Structure 1
Amino acid sequence: MHPARAWRRVGNKVVCQLCYHFCRLKEGDFGKCNARFVKDGKPYTLTYGNISAMESRPMEIKPFFHFLPGKTAITFSTYSCNLDCPWCQNWHISKRNPPMSYSVVKPEEVVEKALIFGDVATCASFNEPTLLYEYLLDLFPLARSRGLFNTIVSNGYMTPLALRELVSAGLDAMNVDLKGDDRVYELCGGKAKNVLKTIETAKKLGVHLEVVCLLITDLNDDEDSVRWVVENHLRYAGAEIPLHFTRYFPAYLFERPPTPIERIERAIEIAKREGVEFVYIGNVPGHIYENTYCPNCGELLIKRYSFRVLDVRLKDGRCWRCGKEIYGLFIEE
């Protein structure tokens, strides 16, 4: 049990300011995430150092295609979530409430494992990293002091207050899941405008940003749904921010067949035609749209296969042929 941050008192209730649900909690109540609760009039979290998984993983698996490609990050998670997606790919931890009794994994232990593995960054992923808020506020400065970058893979439902504090603590990059319009978010218990606000805020704060959209068969893979994602990506993120369209596979409560690849290819064509400079396909190993191409001259810049980087053709972060500056952070060797 660790004291929670990002809250205020209103009358006899505690209002959580961590995510857009703004849960109003009285004594003994748990928030929608089942990770924060009120005891003796004060909020606490059950996820501080309550780690469900930890391992070294490629940046490409997040996916981060423009942030330290070819490198690895110490990747870790806790339990539960603040949204309730019925197709969740990591439901075995996101649908499990945090254990009330556990051994704390100290931030120093995460950093030491990263250094042992040769990782260049930390990454809170697998389930929603917002639930590790207090832990990340302690971990990020420590990791940065040891020469590591800090990243998260998020559903984007955190408040601007929480995001600003994470950036101040040392957040360098985030991948945000944009699921679709409100018709899609109704199935998850959220609203699209809040995720778009997070994308916009991250961009303004100078965080490296990449956006991913899981295209689900006969839910959000039609042309109108794709155009909504593309138009809002351009409006709130910008043309230079990478957009990943990922193939869905049946999971948790959803049994629809995997997304037809041709629908994902169509989504990529729409995005490129509308002006998104870097558009990718996910969960389709060996596809040409796993690669990075120069949006100016079309030259192949980064060749990939699945989560492996096979070749990088950049010079000082620019296209080696035409000299166009490429969005991202690259370590050229």
Structure 2
Amino acid sequence: MREAKLYKNFGDHARCLVCWRLCKIKDYGYCRTRVYKDGKLYTLTYGNISACENRPMEIKPFFHFKPGDYSMTFSTYSCNLDCPWCQNWHLSKTPPRESYEYFPPEKLVELAYKNSNGVCASFNEPTLLFEYLLDLFPLAKSKGLHTTMVSNGYMTPKALKMLREAGLDGMNIDVKGDEDVYTLIGGKAKYVWRTAEEAKRLGIHLEIVNLVITDVNDREDDFEWLVENHVKYVGEEVPLHFTRYFPAYLFDKPPTKIEKLEKAAEIARKEGVKFVYIGNVPGHRLENTFCPNCGKLLIRRYSYRVLENKIKNGKCFSCGEKIYGVF
């Protein structure tokens, strides 16, 4: 066990300050990755790696961060929210193993340096790897690797700032839906938008994803709410991905209708969002990146592959429009 980095000690319990649950912990916190013992709060996830795989940036999805690159993608266990449609439930619904083969950050960076372009915390909620990431990111940066995470965004501003100071380059935040949706999964939407707003302010590359779930968040009102908040908190230039849901874990509703995704994208474009994408629909036109000024095709994709990239020095090859992202 490693002592946690962000908590307050009250003698007979601790207050965890990593995520917005702000758990009062006398034994285990909600996510069961923090334990109070002998007057200190410890993390059970340090080096407790559940999966590790070299994956393209587009699968996360990052469409405006190093297109075509790969990242050594890794995870631990558990989650701080409770989505009944979770795609990675076999990891997120499993508490951390208290007996495991330790995977040091140096080993992961070495693996990434030999085989990839960066490191990415993903699969389950990476906030639960907080202490590990604080040590991993500087090591990765020292080797010239980029550092990203795919998150539900339910971390505190202090935790986000510490991750940025450690070297976090890019962040993909999955916004689940409005306050009704977050009530269902045990959170509050306002905290996620606050994280997104703060990430952009700190200079972290940001992309927003909305998994459109049949009969949960697939009404026009839901899309309008999402787009309104997207423009308000992170602005028109931050990419917005509407991703198709497929049945998983406890949810057996049919897959999202493609016309629903197209309606969401239409609403976003009408409200001025410059880069709108549809995900999990291979071959769809809105897998591609277009210049928001002249309309030229800039990046052509199929599924998770980049087939053509015409962005030059971060600008449209045709009209010179600056394109948001890290290219």
TM-score, normalised with respect to structure 2: 0.99
**Superposed CA offset, 1:259-293 (max 9, x none):** 00000001000000100000001100000000000
Structure 2 residue aligned with 1:8: 8
Q: 1:31-42 residue pairs with structure 2 within 5 A?
A: 31-42=29-40
Structure 2 residue aligned with 1:182: 179
Q: 1:137-152 residue pairs with structure 2 within 5 A?
A: 137-152=134-149
CA distance in structure 2 between the aligned counterparts of 1:281 and 1:102, rounded to whole angstroms = 38
CA distance in structure 1 between the aligned counterparts of 2:183 and 2:249, rounded to whole angstroms = 17
SS in 2 for 1:209: strand
Correspondence 1:322 to 2:305 = no
SS in 2 for 1:186: helix
Q: 1:77-88 residue pairs with structure 2 within 5 A?
A: 77-88=75-86
CA drift of 1:25 comes to: 1.2
Q: 1:1-333 residue pairs with structure 2 within 5 A?
A: 1-10=1-10, 12-26=12-26, 29-117=27-115, 119-330=116-327
CA distance in structure 2 between the aligned counterparts of 1:156 and 1:205, rounded to whole angstroms = 14
Q: Residue 278 of structure 1 aligns to which amino acid in structure 2?
A: F
CA drift of 1:215 comes to: 0.3
**Superposed CA offset, 1:84-138 (max 9, x none):** 0000000000000100101110111111111221x11110000000010000000
CA drift of 1:11 comes to: 5.4
CA drift of 1:181 comes to: 0.6
CA distance in structure 2 between the aligned counterparts of 1:273 and 1:200, rounded to whole angstroms = 22
SS in 2 for 1:210: strand
CA distance in structure 2 between the aligned counterparts of 1:177 and 1:67, rounded to whole angstroms = 16
CA distance in structure 2 between the aligned counterparts of 1:209 and 1:14, rounded to whole angstroms = 32
SS in 2 for 1:187: helix
TM-score, normalised with respect to structure 1: 0.97
CA distance in structure 1 between the aligned counterparts of 2:183 and 2:251, rounded to whole angstroms = 15
CA distance in structure 1 between the aligned counterparts of 2:301 and 2:133, rounded to whole angstroms = 31
CA distance in structure 1 between the aligned counterparts of 2:22 and 2:302, rounded to whole angstroms = 42
Q: Residue 60 of structure 1 aligns to which amino acid in structure 2?
A: E
CA distance in structure 1 between the aligned counterparts of 2:286 and 2:307, rounded to whole angstroms = 14
Q: Residue 100 of structure 1 aligns to which amino acid in structure 2?
A: E
- Give yes or no for contact 2:9–2:39 (8 Å, CA) kept in 1: no
SS in 1 for 2:190: helix
CA distance in structure 2 between the aligned counterparts of 1:295 and 1:179, rounded to whole angstroms = 26
CA distance in structure 2 between the aligned counterparts of 1:287 and 1:209, rounded to whole angstroms = 23
Structure 2 spans left out of the alignment, 5+ residues: none
SS in 2 for 1:314: coil
Structure 1 spans left out of the alignment, 5+ residues: none
SS in 1 for 2:66: coil
Q: Residue 303 of structure 1 aligns to which amino acid in structure 2?
A: R
CA distance in structure 2 between the aligned counterparts of 1:161 and 1:79, rounded to whole angstroms = 22
Q: Residue 37 of structure 2 aligns to which amino acid in structure 1?
A: K
SS in 1 for 2:261: helix
Q: Residue 195 of structure 1 aligns to which amino acid in structure 2?
A: V
CA distance in structure 2 between the aligned counterparts of 1:178 and 1:310, rounded to whole angstroms = 28
Aligned-residue sequence identity (percent) comes to 64
Q: Residue 286 of structure 1 aligns to which amino acid in structure 2?
A: G
Q: Residue 166 of structure 2 aligns to which amino acid in structure 1?
A: A
CA drift of 1:42 comes to: 0.6
Q: Residue 4 of structure 1 aligns to which amino acid in structure 2?
A: A
